[in-house]
Amino acid sequence: MPDNLLSKDLNDILSQTLTIWNELKDQRIFITGGTGFLGTWILESFVWINKKLKLNAEAVILTRDAESFLKKCPHLINDKALQFYEGNILDFKYPKGKFSYVIHAATDSNYTRVSSWEMLETIIEGTKHTLEFAKNSSVKKFLFISSGAIYGKQSGVDVINESHLSRLEATGLMPSYAIGKFIAEYMSNLYAREYQFDLKIARCFAFFGPYVPLNLHFAIGNFIHNRLKNETILIKGDGHSFRSYLYIADVCIWLWTILFQGKNLTAYNVGSHEKYSIEEMAHRIANCMEPKVMIKIVNNNIKSSIAEDNYIPDITLIKQHLNLAPRINFVNALNLTMEWFRKKYQLNEFLI
Q: Please indicate, yes or no, if residue 171 is contained in any of the structural domains.
A: yes
Residue 113's CATH number: 3.40.50.720
Q: Please indicate, yes or no, if residue 92 is contained in any of the structural domains.
A: yes
Q: Are 233 and 295 in contact (CB under 8 A)?
A: yes
Single pTM value for the model: 0.93
Q: Please indicate, yes or no, if residue 11 is contained in any of the structural domains.
A: yes
Q: Please indicate, yes or no, if residue 222 is contained in any of the structural domains.
A: no
Q: Please indicate, yes or no, if residue 43 is contained in any of the structural domains.
A: yes
Give every residue of the chain whose pLDDT is below 70, as ranges. 1-3, 108-113, 169-174, 300-308, 346-352
Q: Please indicate, yes or no, if residue 292 is contained in any of the structural domains.
A: no
* Per-residue pLDDT tens over the stretch 189-213: 999 999 999 999 999 999 999 999 9
Count of domains in the chain? 1
- Check residue 113 and give its pLDDT: 65
Q: Please indicate, yes or no, if residue 239 is contained in any of the structural domains.
A: no
Domain range spanning residue 115? 4-211+245-274+312-330
Q: Please indicate, yes or no, if residue 203 is contained in any of the structural domains.
A: yes
- Check residue 172 and give its pLDDT: 56
- Check residue 310 and give its pLDDT: 86
- Check residue 346 and give its pLDDT: 66
Three-state secondary structure string covering the chain: CCCHHHHHHHHHHHHHHHHHCHHHCCCEEEEECCCCHHHHHHHHHHHHHHHHHCCCCEEEEEECCHHHHHHHCHHHHCCCCEEEEECCCCCCCCCCCCCCEEEECCCCCCCCCCCHHHHHHHHHHHHHHHHHHHHHCCCCEEEEEEEHHHHCCECCCCCECCCCCCCCCCCCCCCHHHHHHHHHHHHHHHHHHHHCCEEEEEEECCEECCCCCCCCCCHHHHHHHHHHCCCCEEECCCCCCEEECEEHHHHHHHHHHHHHHCCCCEEEEECCCCEEEHHHHHHHHHCCCCCCCCEEECCCCCCCCHHHEEECECCHHHHHHHCCCCCCCHHHHHHHHHHHHHHHHHCCCCCC
* Per-residue pLDDT tens over the stretch 146-203: 999 999 887 778 899 999 877 776 655 568 899 999 999 999 999 999 999 999 999 9
